[in-house]
A and B are shown apart, each in its own frame.
Chain A
Amino acid sequence: MTANLNPKVLLIIPAFNERENIGPLLLSLREHGYEALVVNDGSTDDTASICSAIGASVVSLPCNLGIGGAVQTGYKYAYAHGYDIAIQFDGDGQHRAEFIPALIAPLLAGEADLAIGSRYIEKEGFQSTFLRRAGIRYFSRLIRLITGQTVTDPTSGFRAVNRSIMAMFTAHYPTDYPEPESIVHVLRLGGRVAEVPVLMSERAGGRSSIRSLRSVYYMIKVSLAILIDSLRGSGVHRT
């Protein structure tokens, strides 16, 4: 792909009961001049009405699909509406808009198809808890073992993709805990993955969707998903 001087960029913001964070986030993104799409994942609070009150663009899922299904909806929208770049951006205040130009730079230069914002290249900003860091290192090693590529922050939900990956994600995207698995998926199908150093903040409000007891299930499920994905061929599996 050649460098695109005026790319159409869409921020995909999956939101499930994010009433505390979503309003200020959308307003700050608007100040930065970014187009955002909120995918309201069947929220039971007034997330949707807050978004439409400030005139934000929303797609509301009639029932909760989980993070993977919500983000995939955003990729489908971005692909159908001809966006050149889609950026996944959390609705909980963890991700910072000032790093978006750096994140999409490798895509614009045609050096990568998927760019991941990593906390662990410069090791600055919010670094997460010790146990979570240990888990992230484990996934990083597992991905290197299977794909040969080093990804320092495989669970990062701050990522940008070009149209070829959008098409790939439209056809298949993992259902829950999708981040590490989708990296392996992209690499298997020949996509180029790059990491960009970013700073992240602690969640502004609400709770992370990954809690202590669930994290055991999370580790096992994602490991298996990665291992099973590596058994698939390089053909595209439609789901």
Chain B
Amino acid sequence: MITLKLQLLLIAFSAAVFIVFINRTRRYKLELKYALVWIFLSTAGVIASVFPQIFFFIARVMGIEVPVNAVFLLAVSSIFLILYSMTVSLSNHSRKIRTLTQELALMSRRIEDLESRTRKAEGGNGHASES
């Protein structure tokens, strides 16, 4: 059984998560791309806690005796899903940062080379500008 108290708590919690993530995205604090998985999962949380029959069904299908354990199982799975998406984007970002750092270093080297070559060319012309 899922008590009314727990049900209300779940609704309130899921709704709060949903509102926080929508609001943060609205204020450009979060990228929709990364907020999306939270928004989907909290929507699913609201729906499931409004219709707890979903938990009963999942518990029966998966052979879980106490429906409230299905709630925990789903919560843990959601967190896994979110962490997975974080690991993916973390890996992408570290790769991008590595490439950017290398390109930046190579680029500043090219600028330095160009500057020294320009200075030499100006000196050779006898029009050395004092800078």
Contact = CB atoms under 8 A, between A and B. Distances in A.
B100 to A, nearest CB: 9
Contacts of B102: 61, 65, 69, 72-73, 76
B105 A59 contact: yes
Interface in B97-120: 98, 101-102, 104-106, 108-109
Question: Interface residues of B: mostly helix, strand, loop or mixed?
Answer: helix
Interface string B72-101: 000000000000000000000011001001
A58 B108 CA distance: 10
Contact of A69 (B101, B108, B109): B101
By size class, the interface of chain A is 10 to 19
A147 interface: no
Among B94, B101, B102, B108, max chain A CB count under 10 A is at B102
Contact of B108 (A39, A60, A63, A72): A60
Interface of B: 94-95, 98, 101-102, 104-106, 108-109
A80 interface: yes
Interface of A: 39, 58-63, 65, 69, 72-73, 76-77, 80, 175, 239
B104 A239 contact: no
B105 to A, nearest CB: 5
A239 B101 contact: no
Contact of A65 (B98, B106, B109): B98
Contacts of A72: 98, 102
A60 B105 contact: yes
B95 A65 contact: no
Contact of B105 (A73, A80, A175, A239): A73
Contact of A239 (B95, B106, B108, B109): B95
Contacts of A39: 105
B87 to A, nearest CB: 15
A159 B102 CA distance: 21
B106 A59 contact: yes
A77 B106 contact: yes
A76 B98 CA distance: 13
A182 to B, nearest CB: 15
A65 B104 CA distance: 13
A239 B95 CA distance: 7
A76 B107 CA distance: 12
Nearest to B108: A60
A69 B101 CA distance: 9
B106 A63 contact: no
Nearest to A39: B105
A175 B106 contact: no
25 contacts: A39-B105, A58-B109, A59-B106, A59-B109, A60-B105, A60-B108, A60-B109, A61-B101, A61-B102, A61-B105, A62-B104, A62-B105, A63-B101, A65-B98, A65-B101, A65-B102, A69-B101, A69-B102, A72-B102, A76-B102, A76-B106, A77-B106, A80-B106, A175-B98, A239-B95
